[in-house]
Structure 1
């Protein structure tokens, strides 16, 4: 019974092996293109090249701050007896802000006035002594000329006259010193009244009436308040060292403020730092940034009674009537427009990819040898990466080496290699970055073909 089944089992095994071989050969033939006469076409997306205007952007983030902000510190110490403002008040230049108790400074002035009168009296006494010494000297000189007095007496009268003149001159100097001390005391008395140095808003108030403050004659005084021009706001951002070379003074910028989503404001670069700020110095995470200030040129923080506010509200468009109210410390993002080129050949950024020409199987042996020599000389290896774009030529992908220029968020300038009107492959990313090769058959999946 077992001997009769043996040939059948062998036949089934042979048939199974044959079926498996046929399936394997079918799969291989399918992928190798033996069954459809060639390799499988790759599905791609394309776009027609156009001449475009491209603006290079440098993006950075920072915080809004007043362009002009003055910190008020007292020059003299004392108790605040009057605080004339509150935080948020708008003041004009010369308005009263703080009055410090003046009693001690007034008493000092009275004392110095008395001292000045004393010094004046001493000067008059010194003048009288000088005049008396001068008379005695003149008399003795006449007597000496007639040999009626000794040489010693004559010289004593001369020395006394010279001494009295010196005393009188010293008295004059003492009066000037007293007057200078009096002027200083009077200035200190004036400094007990603190007025606004400019038009602006009280953005910070750190003291209360009755507090004692420290003057800044010998050290930093008490920071009492800040006065800022809120209608002149700016944004201070950190720009990386790789981008700072592209930023110039007067470059325009587009500003987005977190507090006002879906709105864009205008700005201009007013200041670029010359010194870098380095964080994590010496480590792998070292970052080198430069401070850049961007003035907000869109009208903002306007007084409703101002001429600028009334001029803006003449428009019937509510969007144009909008006047933002920026506050110090608000977060913002800026896009600085560093360079613009007009009517240039441009392709989508994703169209530009990189290929290693040194490992290119379609390169001739002579070209491959020259590429190897060149890349070995430059890099010490056999890699030769170049920027390329794939062009659709009647259903075939043609690889074109290109030279690129500036780019914005969407398009990249092509300096050489392509012309307007050509159809370039734009996707998919997987096909462009890894799979697509020069000479591959492609089928376009969009409406550009």
Structure 2
């Protein structure tokens, strides 16, 4: 038996201890790195909030709006044609609807004939007045010398005044006939309904052959080129708001799109004041609710993605209130 058979041989512990130490150092280093990274993030976030974040007011209670023109009939008649199709782009002055002009053309012709008759009557009365006035001027010297009776002279003067009154009435008749002709021509012009603004046709309700009456809704023209945003901010957010402040707009229709805008104006009252039934705060069961104030935001033109906006769509906005 060897001499060292009764001795225990222990494995070398140097490499194992070194690995354990390295593991402990690695764990501590990772913890330190993690803590440092977290501290750095917190520091950056704090600085960013202090420099700019605390001046930003945001809301997702915002919607795309446009000053939509509601097209309606100004006269009564049957629709002859509808050149404007649904979702068609139109320009100001383009024909949208044509109402049958036959009856209105007849009224114009009748009004022109009445005007001609009135002008003829006025001319006749003008000649009569001139003749009566000339008689007075011609016979007055004779009456002053006693060659013409006072009764006859008085009769001539009365005839002259009557002729003047008849001429005045005839002149008024001409003015009335001209007014009737202007009204008839205006109604004839209104048989052609034109687009008042540039935009896109929507909500077309009129059809060929339909009888429309004064005020009948026909269609709408939506000015997509001039949409804007109405954002309803809490009353606790608008303390530093004023016109001209920059705004970032994130439309829900495309989450990756960021549009630039500016605060255009702030509503003169909260949204609840413009509702059909305003909130009554003088009740026994009063509960204070934070009110919303509409803020109109103008979108800077020429940006990529603005063509996606449609009135009624939602958006999120952030206002930078820094001076």
- TM-score, scaled to structure 2: 0.75
Per-residue displacement from partner, 1:300-342 (whole Å, max 9, x unpaired)? 6xxxxxxxxxxx7xxxxxxxxx6651222111121111226xx
Aligned pair count reads 270
User: Is the 1:231–1:299 Cα contact (8 Å) retained in structure 2?
Assistant: no
Question: Runs of 5+ in structure 2 lacking a partner?
Answer: 1-37, 273-277
Q: Assess, with a 3 A threshold, how the Cα gap between structure 1 residues 152 and 276 changes in structure 2: closer, same or farther.
A: farther
- SS of 1:126's equivalent? helix
Per-residue displacement from partner, 1:74-127 (whole Å, max 9, x unpaired)? 222222111001121111222211111112211211211121122122212212
Q: Which has the higher contact order (CA 8 A, sep 6+)?
A: 2
Q: Assess, with a 3 A threshold, how the Cα gap between structure 1 residues 51 and 325 changes in structure 2: closer, same or farther.
A: closer
- SS of 2:201's equivalent? strand
Residue 54 (structure 1) aligns with: 52
- For 1:86 and 1:152, locate their aligned partners in 2 and report how far apart those are by CA, in whole Å: 78
Matches of residues 108-257 of structure 1 in structure 2 within 5 Å?
Answer: 108-215=107-214, 221-257=215-251
More helix by share: 2
- TM-score, scaled to structure 1: 0.55
User: Is the 1:87–1:203 Cα contact (8 Å) retained in structure 2?
Assistant: yes
Q: Assess, with a 3 A threshold, how the Cα gap between structure 1 residues 327 and 143 changes in structure 2: closer, same or farther.
A: same
- For 1:200 and 1:294, locate their aligned partners in 2 and report how far apart those are by CA, in whole Å: 20
More strand by share: 1
Per-residue displacement from partner, 1:230-285 (whole Å, max 9, x unpaired)? 13321112222222222111111122222223443322211221233335331415
Q: Assess, with a 3 A threshold, how the Cα gap between structure 1 residues 209 and 48 changes in structure 2: closer, same or farther.
A: closer
Q: Assess, with a 3 A threshold, how the Cα gap between structure 1 residues 201 and 153 changes in structure 2: closer, same or farther.
A: same
Residue 28 (structure 2) aligns with: none
Matches of residues 12-161 of structure 1 in structure 2 within 5 Å?
Answer: 52=48, 53-55=51-53, 56-60=55-59, 61-66=61-66, 68-161=67-160
User: Is the 1:258–1:331 Cα contact (8 Å) retained in structure 2?
Assistant: yes
Residue 317 (structure 2) aligns with: 334
- In the TM superposition, residue 62 of structure 1 has moved relative to its aligned partner by 2.1
User: Is the 2:79–2:209 Cα contact (8 Å) retained in structure 1?
Assistant: yes
Q: What RMSD in Å do the two structures reach over aligned CA positions?
A: 2.4
Question: Runs of 5+ in structure 1 lacking a partner?
Answer: 1-44, 216-220, 301-311, 313-321, 341-449
* Corresponding residue to 1:296 among 277, 295, 299: 299
Per-residue displacement from partner, 1:115-162 (whole Å, max 9, x unpaired)? 112212221221232233224323431221111233232122112111
- In the TM superposition, residue 286 of structure 1 has moved relative to its aligned partner by 4.4
User: Is the 2:259–2:306 Cα contact (8 Å) retained in structure 1?
Assistant: no
Residue 370 (structure 1) aligns with: none
